[in-house]
Amino acid sequence: MLVEFSLQTDREGFYDISSYAAKTAAEFYRIEGKGDAECLVYCPHTTAGITINENADSDVIHDMLLGLSKAFPDRAEFRHGEGNSHAHLKASCVGSSVRVIVRDGKLLLGTWQGIYFCEFDGPRQRRYFIQIH
Protein backbone atom coordinates (compact mmCIF):
# COMPACT_ATOMS: atom_id res chain seq x y z
CA MET A 1 0.00 0.00 0.00
CA LEU A 2 1.32 3.41 -1.03
CA VAL A 3 -0.16 6.73 0.08
CA GLU A 4 1.00 10.26 -0.78
CA PHE A 5 0.68 13.13 1.70
CA SER A 6 1.38 16.84 1.42
CA LEU A 7 2.12 19.63 3.86
CA GLN A 8 2.85 23.35 3.90
CA THR A 9 6.07 24.12 5.76
CA ASP A 10 7.70 27.13 7.41
CA ARG A 11 11.27 28.28 6.76
CA GLU A 12 12.53 25.34 8.79
CA GLY A 13 10.93 22.90 11.18
CA PHE A 14 10.29 19.29 12.18
CA TYR A 15 6.70 18.14 11.51
CA ASP A 16 5.43 15.10 13.42
CA ILE A 17 3.80 12.83 10.85
CA SER A 18 3.64 9.71 13.06
CA SER A 19 -0.16 9.68 13.15
CA TYR A 20 -0.37 9.44 9.35
CA ALA A 21 2.02 6.51 9.35
CA ALA A 22 0.02 4.86 12.15
CA LYS A 23 -3.27 5.30 10.26
CA THR A 24 -1.78 3.93 7.04
CA ALA A 25 -0.37 0.89 8.90
CA ALA A 26 -3.76 0.22 10.54
CA GLU A 27 -5.56 0.55 7.20
CA PHE A 28 -3.08 -1.84 5.56
CA TYR A 29 -3.71 -4.42 8.29
CA ARG A 30 -7.48 -4.05 7.98
CA ILE A 31 -7.29 -4.69 4.22
CA GLU A 32 -4.40 -7.17 3.92
CA GLY A 33 -4.41 -8.89 7.33
CA LYS A 34 -0.60 -9.26 7.21
CA GLY A 35 0.77 -9.28 10.76
CA ASP A 36 4.48 -8.82 10.04
CA ALA A 37 5.02 -5.77 7.85
CA GLU A 38 7.20 -2.73 7.30
CA CYS A 39 6.58 0.99 6.93
CA LEU A 40 8.76 3.20 4.72
CA VAL A 41 8.35 6.97 5.00
CA TYR A 42 10.00 8.64 2.00
CA CYS A 43 10.75 12.29 1.18
CA PRO A 44 11.07 13.11 -2.57
CA HIS A 45 12.84 16.45 -1.95
CA THR A 46 16.54 17.33 -1.70
CA THR A 47 16.42 20.09 0.94
CA ALA A 48 14.13 18.22 3.33
CA GLY A 49 14.35 14.81 4.96
CA ILE A 50 12.77 12.31 7.32
CA THR A 51 14.03 11.37 10.76
CA ILE A 52 12.90 9.62 13.93
CA ASN A 53 13.47 11.45 17.20
CA GLU A 54 11.92 12.65 20.47
CA ASN A 55 8.17 13.28 20.39
CA ALA A 56 7.68 14.71 23.89
CA ASP A 57 9.63 17.93 24.49
CA SER A 58 9.57 20.37 21.57
CA ASP A 59 12.77 21.92 22.91
CA VAL A 60 14.60 18.91 21.48
CA ILE A 61 13.47 19.93 18.00
CA HIS A 62 14.59 23.51 18.61
CA ASP A 63 18.00 22.24 19.71
CA MET A 64 18.32 19.82 16.78
CA LEU A 65 17.62 22.54 14.21
CA LEU A 66 20.17 24.75 15.96
CA GLY A 67 22.76 21.98 16.20
CA LEU A 68 22.35 21.06 12.52
CA SER A 69 22.76 24.71 11.52
CA LYS A 70 25.96 24.93 13.55
CA ALA A 71 27.35 21.69 12.07
CA PHE A 72 26.33 22.62 8.51
CA PRO A 73 26.32 26.43 8.28
CA ASP A 74 26.13 28.46 5.10
CA ARG A 75 29.68 29.06 3.86
CA ALA A 76 31.28 31.75 1.71
CA GLU A 77 33.04 29.03 -0.32
CA PHE A 78 29.77 27.43 -1.41
CA ARG A 79 29.14 27.73 -5.16
CA HIS A 80 25.50 26.68 -5.58
CA GLY A 81 23.62 29.77 -6.74
CA GLU A 82 20.44 29.09 -4.80
CA GLY A 83 22.29 29.60 -1.51
CA ASN A 84 20.73 26.54 0.12
CA SER A 85 23.65 24.11 0.14
CA HIS A 86 23.43 23.95 3.93
CA ALA A 87 19.91 22.55 3.51
CA HIS A 88 21.15 19.90 1.05
CA LEU A 89 23.76 18.88 3.62
CA LYS A 90 21.22 18.60 6.42
CA ALA A 91 18.92 16.56 4.15
CA SER A 92 21.64 13.98 3.48
CA CYS A 93 22.66 13.96 7.16
CA VAL A 94 19.19 13.03 8.45
CA GLY A 95 18.38 11.02 5.31
CA SER A 96 15.54 10.79 2.82
CA SER A 97 13.63 7.97 4.49
CA VAL A 98 13.06 5.98 7.67
CA ARG A 99 11.79 2.45 8.26
CA VAL A 100 9.59 1.29 11.07
CA ILE A 101 8.58 -2.28 11.87
CA VAL A 102 4.81 -2.95 11.79
CA ARG A 103 3.15 -5.66 13.89
CA ASP A 104 -0.56 -6.41 13.50
CA GLY A 105 -1.18 -2.94 12.09
CA LYS A 106 0.77 -1.08 14.79
CA LEU A 107 4.07 0.79 14.36
CA LEU A 108 6.76 -0.58 16.65
CA LEU A 109 8.03 2.88 17.61
CA GLY A 110 9.81 3.37 20.93
CA THR A 111 8.03 5.23 23.75
CA TRP A 112 9.65 8.59 22.94
CA GLN A 113 9.93 8.18 19.17
CA GLY A 114 8.06 10.23 16.61
CA ILE A 115 8.50 10.32 12.81
CA TYR A 116 9.37 13.79 11.52
CA PHE A 117 9.28 15.50 8.17
CA CYS A 118 12.29 17.88 8.37
CA GLU A 119 12.10 21.13 6.44
CA PHE A 120 15.45 22.85 5.91
CA ASP A 121 14.63 25.29 3.09
CA GLY A 122 11.03 26.43 3.28
CA PRO A 123 8.47 27.72 3.28
CA ARG A 124 7.29 25.31 0.60
CA GLN A 125 4.49 22.99 -0.38
CA ARG A 126 6.01 19.54 0.25
CA ARG A 127 4.95 15.94 -0.07
CA TYR A 128 6.00 12.55 1.22
CA PHE A 129 5.11 8.91 0.69
CA ILE A 130 4.17 6.20 3.17
CA GLN A 131 4.53 2.66 1.89
CA ILE A 132 3.46 -0.37 3.93
CA HIS A 133 4.11 -3.91 2.79
Q: Contact positions toward a copy of itself, by CB under 8 A? A: 1-2, 36, 38, 40, 42-46, 51-54, 57, 59-60, 62-64, 66-68, 70-72, 75, 77-82, 85-86, 88-89, 91-101, 103, 108-113, 129, 131, 133
| Nearest distance in Å: CB 1, a copy of itself | 8
φ/ψ bin of 110: left (φ > 0), alpha (ψ from -120 to 50), beta (otherwise) = beta
26 versus 113: smaller Cβ distance to a copy of itself: 113
Q: How far is the CB of 104 from a copy of itself (least distance, A)?
A: 11
Give strand ranges (E) for the chain. Answer: 2-8, 13-16, 36-42, 48-54, 97-103, 106-107, 113-119, 125-132
The nearer residue to a copy of itself, 9 or 86, going by C-beta atoms, is 86
Cβ 93 to a copy of itself shortest distance, Å: 6
Contacts of 91 (CB under 8 A, 6+ apart): 43, 45, 46, 47, 48, 49, 118, 120
Q: Which is nearer to a copy of itself, 19 or 112 (CB)?
A: 112
Q: Rounded CA gap, 51 and 76, in Å?
A: 28
